Amino acid sequence: MQPLEDSTTTLVVKRVPPSKANTCYFQQHHGASAVRFMQSPAMKGTAFVDFPTRLAASNAFEQLKKARMRVEYAKPDPQQPQQGGRQPPQQLPSFRPQPQPEAKPEPPRQFTLSGPLKPPKENEGIPIAPHLGIPYPSDPQLRYRYPDPNPEILANITHAIASVPRLYVQVLHLMNKMNLPPPFVPVQSSSIPEAMQPKKRKRDDLLASDESELESDEEEKQRQEEQEKARKRLLEAREQQKKAVLMKHKKAKE
């Protein structure tokens, strides 16, 4: 009889985030031997995860609960024959998780394999940058969206290319792979998109602008002349007032 600690144990993991819905995550981080993701809408985000030993399943149970996933032990179908004629292992009470007060107990789900497990794809589960501390793969549903180009964005890109030599070389490599014309020639106006070209001002607009500037200069000159005249009148009035005060004092002394 096979020891209970060495028997295969299955966990039912619910609420699996999309970023962790891949076989590589459970195998690398929790030591799973097999993973099956449910595709039906009612069981979306649910996975059946097999572990080679009961101890490995218990450790993964605690880790997945800390990751805010809903985890429970799966009971295999009692009518399904086991490999090697062995009876299905019984669940140890000591390994059962404590019931959560806020979650209602659900009846155990019976599951059977519809076919052999599909091998993972070649591009599935590739870590992003293990040497930088990012050992998990990228989210397959992640998409990037950038704004349309404008003169400011193109100027910033030009400054970045000029300040980072490696970026300059990579841009040239990319242009070469895309069969774009080499940029080692003078800039041609036909190669600049119409939206990026500076707008030409019409002759009437230029004339109107010049006339407006002339009128503004004349008005400014006239305003300065009026201010100068007002200042002179004020000075003359003050001089006359001083003379009148002096004459009054002189008469008072006499």
Q: Can you give the pLDDT at residue 95? A: 46
Would you state the pLDDT for residue 103?
59
Out of 5-19, 59-73, 202-216, give the one with best mean pLDDT.
59-73
Does residue 193 have a pLDDT over 90?
A: no
What pLDDT is recorded for position 174? 92
Would you say 47 and 28 are in contact if contact means Cβ atoms under 8 Å apart? Answer: no
Q: How far apart are CA 99 and CA 72, in angstroms?
A: 10
Q: Is the pLDDT of residue 102 over 80?
A: no
**CA-wise closest residue to 2 among 64, 107, 120, 85:** 85
**42 pLDDT tier (thresholds 50, 70, 90):** confident
Q: What would the mean pLDDT of 38-63 be, rounded to a whole number?
A: 86
Give the residue among 65, 48, 46, 38 at the shortest CA–CA distance from 10: 48
pLDDT of residue 124: 58
Cα distance between residue 88 and residue 8, in whole Å? 10
- 171 pLDDT more than 90: yes
- pTM of the predicted structure, to 2 decimals: 0.29
Which of 216-221's residues contact partners 24+ apart within 8 Å by CB, and which partners? Answer: none
CA 33 from centre of chain = 33
Over residues 101-130, mean pLDDT:
62
Averaged over 158-177, what is the pLDDT?
92
**Four-residue CA torsion sign, 50, 55, 61, 64:** negative
Confidence of residue 120 (pLDDT cuts 50, 70, 90): low
**Mean pLDDT (whole number) for 163-174:** 92
Residues of the chain above pLDDT 90, percent: 9
Give the DSSP per-residue string, the chain. ---GGGS-EEEEEES--GGG-SHHHHHHHH--SEEEE--SGGGTT-EEEEESSHHHHHHHHHHHHHTT-EEEE----TTSPPGGGPPPPPPPGGGSPPPPSSSPP-PPPP---SSPPPPPPTTTT-EEEGGGTEEEEPPTT-----PPP-HHHHHHHHHHHHH-HHHHHHHHHHHHHTTPPPS-S---GGGS-GGGSPPPPPHHHHHHHHHHHHHHHHHHHHHHHHHHHHHHHHHHHHHHHHHHHHHHHHHHH-
Tokens describing residue 232: 């002179």
Give 85's pLDDT tier (boundaries 50, 70, 90): very low
Range with lowest mean pLDDT among 158-167, 183-192, 239-248? 183-192
Q: Which of 68, 36, 39, 38 is nearest to 50 (CA)?
A: 36
pLDDT band at 90 (very low <50, low <70, confident <90, very high): very low
Would you tell me which CATH number, out of the four given (3.40.190.10, 3.30.70.330, 3.90.1640.30, 3.90.1300.10), belongs to the domain 9-73? 3.30.70.330
* pLDDT tens-digit map of 210-230: 666 666 777 888 888 888 888
- What does the pLDDT average to over 174-188? 87
Q: Which pLDDT score, from 0 to 100, does residue 94 have?
A: 45
108: amino acid identity, one letter: P
Q: What is the mean pLDDT of the chain?
A: 75
Q: Hey, which of 102-106, 145-149, 217-221 has the most confident mean pLDDT?
A: 145-149
**Residues spanned by CATH 3.30.70.330 within the chain?**
9-73
The reported pLDDT for the residue numbered 163 is 92
Q: Is 105 left (phi over 0), alpha (psi -120 to 50) or beta?
A: beta
- The single residue listed with the structure tokens 């009035």 is 237
- Which is more confident, 254 or 16? 16
